[in-house]
A and B are shown apart, each in its own frame.
Chain A
Amino acid sequence: MNNKQHTPPAWADQFLAWFCDEGLLEEIQGDLHEAYYDRLTSHSKAKADQLFVLDVFRFCKPYAFEKYSTLKQYLPMFQNYLKIGLRNILHRKGFTAINLIGLSVGISAVMLILLYWNSENTYDTYFPDHDRIHRLMNNYREQTYTCMRFTDYYQTSREDQLRLTNRLKAYEEVQAVCHFVPSVSAIGGRDKYFIQIGEQEVLGENFLYLNSGMDFQEVFPLTFLKGSPEQAFTSFQTISITDRLAKRWFGESWKDQNLINQDVTIQDEVFRLAGIVEALPGNVHFDFDIIIHQQEIPSWAAYTYFKLADGYTAEQVIDRIAQEVDNIFPGYTEDVLSKGIISIPLTKIHFSSGNLYEIKVPANKAYLDTFAVVGLIILLIIWTNYTNLSVSMYAERQRELGMRKVVGALARDISMQILIEAILLALCCLPICYLLIYLSIPYYNEMMGIQLGQEIISSGPYLGLLVLLLAISGLISGIYPSITYGRKSLPSLLWAKTTINRHFRLVSFRNFLLTTQFVMMVGLLSVTWFIYQQMGYVAKQDLGYEVEGVVYFEINGAEKYKQLSTYLRQIPEVQETGANGVPGSEMFNQLTYKMEGTDRVFSDGTFMVLDYGSLKTLNIKCETCTSLDEGKRKLFIINRTAAHKLASVLEVEPEQLIGKQLITEPEWENEEHGMGVPHRIDGIIDDYKYFSLKYPHQPLLINVAAEAGWAYQMMVRLQTDDWQKTLEKVKEKYEKVETVIPFDPLFLEERIRNLYTNERRSGSLMGIMSALAILLSFMGLVGIVSHMAFNRQKEISIRKVLGASIQHILLTLNREFILLMLIATIISLPVALFFASKWLESFAFKIALSPTVVFLVGIVALGLVVSLVSFLARETVNKDPAEVLRA
């Protein structure tokens, strides 16, 4: 007993206590302890410990498990459930397969929608403290600018560029402040340059211009994989690139290469490669591949962000700016056009709308909500469907359940069995779902314009959610049969024939589910129809100019434009060239205008400067413009929308405006003209759709020059069958004139189509989802109808014997579905119209919603249902009545 200080391994002791029956624990533990202390006298402690553990494990057998004797009784029962469940699955292979495929496809679709929804709703949450970051915006005229202008626009010195951010830094409300300009933004010049790194020359685009990198790093911390923020941002003339670009430029082995501090030459300027950073995820409101850190940002404005210090609000910062705004922007308060500086939380940017020069096209919250609703609809269809199928399956298994009752199963046991079976069956879909989602993510990304990684579905939360969704689907499908059949009396289970479908009952659980499904199917299909109708309308809409055959590209200045024009006219395929005024533009800054001698000032004017070639290239009819061919140098024309507005002020006919003076920016005091700039109206042209059809016609004020005075865009109308060859020819000429900016022609058709990317995406998603809804509903129908036909074969045979025709019998079988479908169509009519009109709200030019479409969809769906029912019932209907009735 001198070894009393030693005790047996505590964990083994606890393990024993855990599994051992309480009634046996004391004696067993006592014996083992006694043996242990005994052994300590003859063995080493380690050996005694080892033997003790061995002893404990030797007790790990049913003898000591008395505690779980209750479970022991159930175990064979579970085995039985599993076995019977499996037999049922195998017995109805086709039925089960339809069931599982339907469930898998549906749940996968729901998961994909969820992934998209989540990616959109977590926009810009990539950055730490994203809830404290805000962006400054400026209200100017009637518009909100998302960027803050520099005091002297392009000619602003570094110091003045930093004036606003430096002021803000001094505030105790602000923890950090920064600004930047992405080259892909409207104020970024959409630059593309050839870049020289060592021996290789690569095309560089997607720049991010910074002139205060450390500030940027404070607000939007980037992860440096090579180099450091200090290396990149404490000196100028440095560039940092993303890992994505590094892979493209230097190959997969970029990590092992010695890249930092290499010289990089852009447009004869030498930069130092100072860092490689992790690329931003897709759901951030700006993006870049190359950061250029230099003294001055090459733009007239910058996107400006501040991060609040703890305990302050954005309003406090805005108030403070308002107090001293004249120090930052001299003359701000006196300028009647400046209407105040405001801010927007970082996470709201993605869903903002109507702001000028937004970096990425913001999402339409309404579309996202629609997608969420569609996801829910699909989920409901899956559930109703799956429930329907399981109800009809258990109807066939009533005898089995009855037998269980005979041998002593309680209502509770039956219910449990049904539930467990349903959940297990649903969980069988997990691998299929996983695979489906994994494989479709790349296509989905392309379709929706997002960047989800395939691995996302393996991540804990999403995988958990998938399992949960499947389990819930199983549970829901099991609840109804579980309750009904658990409660049913023994005789009704054993002797009652499957009652389902024997009598026509309009109000039954099953019919309710079927109708719901039909409503959703018709609704989705109708909305999709409307969306495609609108997209067709948009595509066929007479824009007022000719889109086909026009390409456009950037051009740097009027000199180069003129030179290139002469060169291009040597190419026979070139019909016309023009400077500026490429239609299909996003809205840009508007200005104020009025008729001379009136007080009514309009502030929605879109002012354009283009040359006559531009109108000719687009085939826009302009009668007055012919005078330009006859030696006139310049014309000022307005469109009909502007003319109507102005004529109504003067109370004259629009045509009478010709020859009168219009004044733009009448509030602007200048030496040359006094107040504003006068223009003599030379003519009126018909409205053409310069902007997207989402907006109504805007008043256009157009300066048309016989010869372009300045140029930043060039349009070329080509007549050719071999686009590639013709464009090669154009490129050849272009490179004679321009050596710095790479040739990057775009088709006008493409540009106009891109205006409706969001809308088209919602259309294709809706299309796929309604196809899915139909597929799922019909899969459900297949199960129900084949079951119904089988159950009614005697009835059908008797009808046949009594002389009923095949058509009549099919009508009898279909009667119920026809009625349900009619009801469903009527219910879905207002629903579909409501959602479609919601979707159409964003368009100024739109189709009229016609209820006929919904009825037509209803009829088509009905036709499909009837043919499906008839097809499935054909076998039963054609059976020899003698055979059926004798059996």
Chain B
Amino acid sequence: MKGLGYLEETILLLILSMRGDVYGYVISKAYEEHMGKKISISAIHSAMSRLEKKGLIKSHMGGATAERGGRRKRIFQVTELGRSTIEEIRASRQKLWGLIPDLE
């Protein structure tokens, strides 16, 4: 399995958490909302193209909307591989958390 960067992991989680059409701009808004940090659209785009190359997400062109001047959106979905990868990460993290004795 290919390694996953911090931003890539966050985006993957964000996509999974979101309802409706998921595309570049809404992810950047969601990122800002949930993480409390600003991010440029280009950073989101390049991270998503990396995720797609790794096969963790897939995309198709959606319908045109008025606010985009008739331009279509690229709608993203997490693939099975993406879901299992994030699951794996979570499991391994959980395991590590369990090893920490005096956290409580």
Query: Which residues of A are interface residues toward B (Cβ below 8 A)?
Result: 1, 24, 26-35, 37-38, 54-55, 58-59, 61, 63-64
Contacts and interface: CB of A to CB of B under 8 A. Distances in A.
Interface in B42-100: 42-43, 45-46, 49, 61, 66-69, 71-74
A34 B73 CA distance: 10
Contacts of B25: 30-31, 34-35, 38
Contact of B73 (A30, A55, A61, A64): A30
- Main SS of the interface on chain A? helix
Contact of A59 (B45, B61, B66): B45
19 contacts: A1-B66, A27-B23, A27-B24, A27-B45, A27-B73, A28-B24, A30-B69, A30-B72, A30-B73, A31-B24, A31-B28, A33-B67, A33-B68, A33-B69, A34-B68, A35-B28, A58-B43, A61-B42, A64-B42
Nearest to A57: B42
B69 to A, nearest CB: 5
A655 B24 CA distance: 118
A313 B71 CA distance: 67
B46 A63 contact: yes
B69 A26 contact: no
Contacts of A35: 25, 28, 41
B42 A59 contact: yes
Contacts of B66: 1
B41 A58 contact: yes
B40 interface: yes
B72 A31 contact: no
Given A31-B23, A31-B24, A26 B45 contact: no
Interface string B5-45: 00000000000000000011100100000000000111101
A541 to B, nearest CB: 87
Contact of A29 (B43, B49, B67, B71): B71
Contacts of B61: 26-27
Q: Which 9 A-B pairs have the closest CB atoms?
A: A30-B71, A30-B68, A58-B42, A31-B25, A27-B74, A63-B46, A31-B24, A59-B42, A58-B40
B26 to A, nearest CB: 9
A26 B42 CA distance: 14
A351 B76 CA distance: 81
B49 A63 contact: yes
A620 to B, nearest CB: 99
A63 B67 contact: no
A33 B66 CA distance: 11
B68 A61 contact: no
Nearest to B59: A27
Given A1-B67, A61-B42, A61-B46, A26 B24 contact: no
Nearest to A62: B46
Contacts of B71: 26-27, 29-30, 33
B37 to A, nearest CB: 15
A17 B41 CA distance: 16
Contacts of A61: 42, 46
Contact of B45 (A1, A28, A37, A54): A28
Interface of B: 23-25, 28, 40-43, 45-46, 49, 61, 66-69, 71-74
A30 B74 CA distance: 9
Contacts of A28: 24, 41-42, 45
A54 B42 CA distance: 10
Given A24-B45, A27-B23, A27-B73, 8 more contacts: A1-B67, A32-B41, A33-B67, A33-B68, A34-B67, A55-B41, A59-B45, A63-B46
B68 A63 contact: no
Contacts of B45: 24, 27-28, 31, 59, 63-64
Nearest to B46: A63
Contacts of A55: 40-42
Nearest to B66: A1
Contacts of A31: 23-25, 28, 41, 45, 68, 73
A61 B40 CA distance: 13
A58 B49 CA distance: 15
Contacts of A54: 40
Contacts of A63: 42, 45-46, 49
Of A27, A29, A54, A63, most buried by chain B (CB within 10 Å of CB) is: A27
A443 B53 CA distance: 69
Nearest to A32: B41
Contacts of B28: 31, 35
A51 to B, nearest CB: 10
Contacts of B69: 30, 33
Nearest to B47: A63
A30 B46 CA distance: 15
Nearest to A60: B42
A27 B67 contact: no
A574 B39 CA distance: 103
A26 B72 contact: yes
A256 to B, nearest CB: 60
Nearest to A63: B46
Nearest to B25: A31
A155 to B, nearest CB: 91
Contacts of A26: 61, 71-72
Nearest to B75: A27
A59 B40 CA distance: 9
Contacts of B23: 27, 31
A64 B74 CA distance: 15
A374 to B, nearest CB: 62
B77 to A, nearest CB: 15
A38 B28 CA distance: 13
Contacts of B40: 54-55, 58
Contacts of B74: 27
Contact of B67 (A24, A37, A58, A59): A37
A599 B85 CA distance: 126
A34 B66 CA distance: 9
A85 B73 CA distance: 48
A24 B42 CA distance: 12
B58 to A, nearest CB: 14
Of A30, A32, A37, A38, most buried by chain B (CB within 10 Å of CB) is: A30
A33 B40 CA distance: 14
Contacts of B68: 30-31, 33-34
A38 B67 CA distance: 9
Contacts of B41: 28, 31-32, 35, 55, 58-59
A10 to B, nearest CB: 12
Of B42, B66, B67, B69, most buried by chain A (CB within 10 Å of CB) is: B42
